[in-house]
Amino acid sequence: MKTETEPIAPSTTGTEVALPKRLSPRKIRRARRRKALSRFWSQFRVNKMGMFGLAIIIFFFGMAIFSIFANKGRLDPTITTNGPILASPSWAYPFGTNLQGISVLSLVVEGSRISLFVGLTAAFISMVIGSAIGIWAGYRSGYSDIILMRTTDVFLVLPWLALAIVLAAVFGANMWVIILIIGLTSWAGTARLVRAQVLSVKERTYIERSRALGGSDWHVVTRHVLPNVMPVIFANTILTIAIAILSESALAFLGLGNPLEPSWGTTIEDAFRNGALTLGKWAWLMAPSTCIVLVVLAFTMVGFAMDEIVNPRIRER
Amino acid sequence: MSVLSVDDLRVTYSTKGGDVPAVRGVSFEIDKGEVLGLAGESGCGKSTIAGAILRLHSPTTKIEGQITLDGKDILDLSPGKLRAARWTGASIVFQGALHALNPVQKIGDQIVEAITVHRMADEREAHVRAGALLEQVGLPPRRIDDYPHELSGGQKQRVMIAMALACNPSLIIADEPTTALDVMVQAQVLKLLRSLQHDLGLAMLFITHDLSVLVEVSDDLAVMYAGKIVEEGPANEVFHTPVHPYTKALAAAFPEIGDDRFRRRPSGLGGDPPDPQQIPSGCPFHPRCAEVTQVCPELVPELWDAGSGRFAACVHATGAPSLQTTNP
């Protein structure tokens, strides 16, 4: 037809106002994103709960990064150190030492890296699967919806702990196996939430308009559906991180963690199994437990704070 | 050659309660530079036709007949070809611009979307073009960075019109473009549509329930009832000297300001439009018709010649087979 090859005539007036000449679209987009981010930050900053949680998270992330350099090769549980065994808290060993004479503080620092890594990676996997399935089910509806949602229901009611124990027994207690187990079993909630959002978004007229102007399903989903459900996905993922960290600790406490990669859960299990309670070595048990509580609490607080900002229904204005 | 030709179009929605025939055999043609007005009550199938022209209905909806747009058989296109034909062949000005714009995107980006989806220009050129389009519909180009909520209802509808023009389509489908706008803005939007259509030589399908609006903008007028066209012809004649009793009732429903007769006796049409699943036998309008005859419940009327280039699906049309004799 008449226009497909015809170059579009640049307008002669007015557009200088609309579009500064030397800015490329990418730069415009970047500037826009920066602006959106700074708007988000200014709202987040005044949220006390969110800022408190963020401070805790930053503290533990710092600890995790520190551990990469600090603990190189010193935490091998198969060797014995020269330090005192089962020491009580002192200046040299703030949380005492364990049965091998390793400082519990070192274990906790090392655990921060492993617990956070497992939590973040598993939550990411869960987010990707959950969003993909939720968007597909909500957008396509019909048979895809029925099949995907019944599958989601199965994952929702799955006794995941029993499943995780079986899987870990079959594939070996390896950090990546744990990550996959948690990631592959925790996406159901996200999928339902995303589907519900998509169902309400896809009926809006601008979706029909986008289809009418020739957008493919992929185009409509990435340009209109995803940006509209993204805030929900994001806030939900932060909460999923907390759950993933908790799950990892639970699995490790049941002895499914890798003893060579001591997460907080592994340390708790070690302390519990070796009778830290009867021996009165409370710090051995309390230090990693407190870390778990703090991190999970922090992620939950940040998640709620973000929900308050991105969810217009509970936003305070 | 006509830009759009629709031949014996039938659209059936399938619902849990069974099949619903929303459009039951509609034919019309629109030439380049011509405006066809489509009128009718809510639920008579007007918007269903608009959706069918771009095949926007869900796959479960059955579309039969033939739709030819720019020489292409729309109902026969592969999904990829169909997407390419959308907006470049025909674009839609949607009913209720307030919801047809994505609230989280700038209006400029949404016009650009239409251009870049069809790879007609890169993003920078498309932005320039979007600014020019806004100017064309009477908005300052600096509004390109505004979000939909920063615009008034009339301005949003102007943005929708700019968007409809983005890919230089040969046909514009205006699906109730003036609903939810106040009368002054309505007049402005109509004037804009009419002048753009005239200047660019576009074909336009104008859908509304407001007959008085249609008379102003369209060359030809088609009146729909229960999924069929019941009267068509030149706009002025159809409005001022209607043949079909339904058109008469529609035309009479618009009071003339200053005319005492309308003040004393506002006229309207009794009854409700028929349920598409239980369309009355014979002429579907006969239960509500003021001029019903004995044959009406049995005879299914076709579009008969009604004089001066008009056609009406009514036994009272002059071209109807001489059945009036049976009328007592």
Which of the four pLDDT bands, split at 50, 70 and 90, describes residue A12?
very low
Distance set, CA A92 to CA A97, A108, A277, A290, B168 (Å): 10, 15, 22, 20, 78
Residue in B with minimal Cα distance to A12: B132
Furthest-apart CA pair in chain B: how many Å? 72
In this structure, the answer to whether residues B262 and B147 fall within a common structural domain is: no
Closest-CA residue to A98 (of A246, A262, A249): A262
Quote the ipTM score: 0.73
Gyration radius from chain A CA atoms:
25
Structure tokens at A269: 């299990």
Residue B146 to residue B140: CA distance in whole angstroms: 11
Domain A45-66+92-310: CATH superfamily is MetI-like (1.10.3720.10)
Task: Using CB atoms, pick whichever of A8, A212, A216 lies closest to residue B120.
Answer: A8
H/E stretch holding B171 reads strand B171-175
| Any domain includes B215 | yes
**Which residue's entry shows tokens 């069809």?**
B118
Cβ within 8 Å of residue A173, ≥6 positions away? A255, A256, A257, A258
B324 located within any domain:
no
pLDDT digits 0-9 by tens, A61-98: 988 888 877 766 556 655 656 667 777 777 777 777 77
Best of B14, B72, B92, B124 to disrupt the A interface by mutation (most A CBs within 10 Å)?
A: B124
> Which of B1, B77, B117 has the most A C-beta neighbours within 10 Å, making it the best mutation to test the interface with A?
B117
Instruction: Please indicate, yes or no, if residue B178 is contained in any of the structural domains.
Output: yes
B69, B109: one domain? no
> pLDDT value at position A273?
83
Interface contact flag, B128 A213, Cβ < 8 Å: no
Note whether residue B94 is domain-resident: no
pLDDT of residue A74: 59
Which of A74-83, A256-265, B175-184, B226-235 bottoms out in mean pLDDT, i.e. has the lowest?
A74-83
A278/B contact by beta carbon, under 8 A: no
> In this complex, is the C-beta atom of A19 within 8 Å of any C-beta atom belonging to chain B?
yes
Share of chain A above pLDDT 90, in %: 20
- Are B212 and B306 in a shared domain? yes
In this structure, are B150 and B20 located in the same domain?
no
Residues B54 and B30 in one domain: yes
Verify whether the Cβ–Cβ distance A9 to B132 is below 8 Å: yes
Which tops the pLDDT comparison, A152 or A33? A152
Range of the domain at B183: 2-89+167-312
Nearest to A16 by CA among B230, B144, B213, B8: B144
Q: B66 and B83: one domain?
A: yes
A36 to each of A29, A32, A63, how far by Cα in Å?
A: 10, 6, 30
B290 in contact with A, Cβ within 8 Å: no
Q: How many A/B residue pairs have CB atoms within 8 Å? A: 127
Give the pLDDT confidence of B154-188 residue by residue, as tens digits. Answer: 888 889 889 888 888 899 998 888 877 888 888 88
Name the band, by pLDDT with cuts 50, 70 and 90, for residue A130: very high
Nearest Cα residue to B13 out of B41, B47, B37: B47
Q: Is residue B322 part of a domain?
A: no
Place of tokens 């809006």: A204
**Does B128 touch chain A if contact means CB atoms closer than 8 Å?**
yes
Q: Check B128 against A15: CB less than 8 A apart.
A: yes
Question: pTM above 0.95?
Answer: no
Mean predicted lDDT score pLDDT of chain A: 81
Answer yes or no: do B241 and B185 share one domain: yes
How high does pLDDT run on average in chain B? 84
3-state secondary structure A157-192: HCCHHHHHHHHHHHHCCCHHHHHHHHHHHCCHHHHH
Amino acid at A118: V
Please indicate, yes or no, if residue B318 is contained in any of the structural domains: no
- Model confidence at B226: pLDDT above 50: yes
Q: How many separate domains does chain B show?
A: 2
Cα(A289)–Cα(A291) distance, integer angstroms:
5
Instruction: Compute the C-alpha angle A149/A154/A159, nearest 5°.
Output: 150
The answer for B 148-167 residues in CB contact with A (under 8 A) is 163, 166-167
Dihedral class, residue A204 (left if φ above 0, else alpha if ψ from -120 to 50, else beta):
beta
Q: What is the CATH number of the domain that holds B239?
A: 3.40.50.300
